[in-house]
Amino acid sequence: MYYFPLVNTISLKLPDRLLERLEAESRARGTTKSSLVREGLEKLPSTRPAGEPATCFDLASDLAGSLKGLPRDLATNPKDLEGFGK
């Protein structure tokens, strides 16, 4: 088994249903459970000062780029902006 250099090991307890989901996703992707947990943790919003609300991007960042076949940036094509704000 391959371990990333200079990583720490932690232990966590998961309910059976969550562990089943983690194992199923791991099999489907052909990756390790540890890799999936690291990926999920990396997607957490960056830390903000206490009491500061999450930005719209923080709340929807997992959706960014999830739709296929759309322009990269709608603001780059004047045709996409026709009628905007009317």
3-state secondary structure of 33: helix
Cβ contacts of residue 29 below 8 Å, gap of 6+?
36
Cβ contacts of residue 55 below 8 Å, gap of 6+?
45
Please tell me the distance from the alpha carbon of residue 61 to that of residue 50, in angstroms, as a whole number: 20
Predicted TM-score of the model (pTM): 0.49
Instruction: Tell the residue number behind the tokens 């603001």, with chain if given.
Output: 75
The token duo for 28 is: 């489907």
Q: What's the DSSP call for residue 75?
A: G
Please tell me the distance from the alpha carbon of residue 11 to that of residue 33, in angstroms, as a whole number: 12
Query: pLDDT tens, 15-54?
Result: 999 999 999 999 999 999 999 998 888 887 666 677 788 7
Domain boundaries, the chain: 14-40
Query: pLDDT tens, 63-83?
Result: 777 777 776 776 777 777 777
